[in-house]
Structure 1
Amino acid sequence: MSMKIPFFNNKQSKEFFHYPEDHTPDHIAIIMDGNGRWAGKRGMPRVAGHKEGLSAVVKIVKAAVKCKVKVLTLYTFSTENWKRPKPEIDFILRLPKEFLHIYLPDLIANNVRIEAIGDMENLPAYTRESVQFAIDRTRDNDGLQLNFALNYGSRREILNAMKKMFTDINDAKLSMDEVDEQQFSEYLNTAGMSDPDLLIRTGGEKRLSNFLLWQLAYTEFWFTDVLWPDFSEKEFLHALEEYRQRKRRYGGI
């Protein structure tokens, strides 16, 4: 039986400070890396790291709500993750159901809206159904939008977007003269969302791993050696504070 970790409460963490809203990134994307290595360092099976990683998800969603972040996108399961051993895949794909079963009432109470990006059709029914249930239950919420990137790969996303766009051109629903960056973005999984302002990757690696390649064109990157299960509210705020110090010029002066 799963034990519920307190999600939202009125007691402020000693590590938490008030973050100025005018300097808060609207959209933060996170590559949650290092679960397996976290477990390996402790002589535990890799799935124990994925299980512990849920605690970090709880902490960071809570921190994002406190900081009034508008969109938080979590790289949960990539198209490349199918290469892993089947028992590990099965375990990972059951975690969204477990997370939502425990915390959905708290998320609803705190105005969080759940969304998903990626190819959901090829996921197990228990994953699809639990995520879709959460999407339906939180559809009218207008606080933090929490995106789970499930069976997501950016190259596949871009190719699928191109195919859909060309189909619309062939069907005369769209003309070539209308095609620009903004129009193309409407065919991506993230249509209607702002591009991420900040990308956080834990675990020490410094690569994008086929994550939001189009959307990260002008995103600020922040990498840390901290493994995802150890990633705390304090680390999250450290990333936000460094983001605040940067000047985003978008190619200008």
Structure 2
Amino acid sequence: MQKSFWIGTILAGLGLASVWVLAQTQSQTVMGASGVLFGAKVTSWAKLNAQKVVQEVGLSIPLQAIQNAPEPSAGEAPPTQTDAMMAIMMQGPTLRLELPEAVKQSTFLDHVDLYWEKFGHPPDRYLTPHFDIHFFGVPSAAVDKIDCKNLTPPALELTPKGYAPAVPPGANAAEFCVPLMGFHGLPLSEFAAPGQLKPGLFDYTLISGFYNNQYIFTEPMITKAFLLKKQGFSEAVSRPVTVGRTTLYPTRFSLSFDPQANAYNLVYSGFVAGQ
């Protein structure tokens, strides 16, 4: 009797293991677009579970691309703000990658616009070479039409939890809009006091973006100096209570270095339904 019990237990365990293995084999990684960034291949991808539901959306950036990102030469002056805005409008992102179709169809995310800022950009805390990596929730064609002629500031109720308003109340919205991007909302953790950014240069932060009174992107902004350390971090992704779209939204962003691939993985995960 005891022998039969143990045999039955073992067989049941094997059965459960088989189910687990089958579930794992049914999950898959689907590839999005790839492109060359400073001599290295950058790739977008997504992981789907056995039910074809998006679990992770990622971007893999080889360390070579980061190492090769050009910095200012000796004596090279940073562009004026007007020249910088004109350059963005004329040249567009350093690299644009469309995300996998499964991501576009079922989640908030649509494509990635990556900008290399070799001088950094104002305010002073961000005047260090860094990458601005916009994960847009609207199609490329819509982003290309962002010319900052519509200066409607984001409604205060669009401000995500833990973030400062993208346009401070009473401020001139024209001073805060960036062509092909829109308005940028900073997390409160970037501030030492209301309206006063922390002293010193930043390492990384996670920005929320808006245009035409809509939440349209989430943006990891990461310095070259931090990336060269082969370190990582993980942050909660905040969004407005009501976005205006019924879809899946990520709740977590993580950056990790893969020593075997000698590359970074930027990953959005923890997708939940929202509107």
Which category describes the TM-score, using the shorter chain as reference length? under 0.3
| Structure number with higher helix proportion | 1
Could you say which structure has the larger radius of gyration?
2
| Structure number with higher strand proportion | 2
Q: Which has the higher contact order (CA 8 A, sep 6+)?
A: 1
TM-score if structure 1 supplies the norm length? 0.25
TM-score if structure 2 supplies the norm length? 0.23
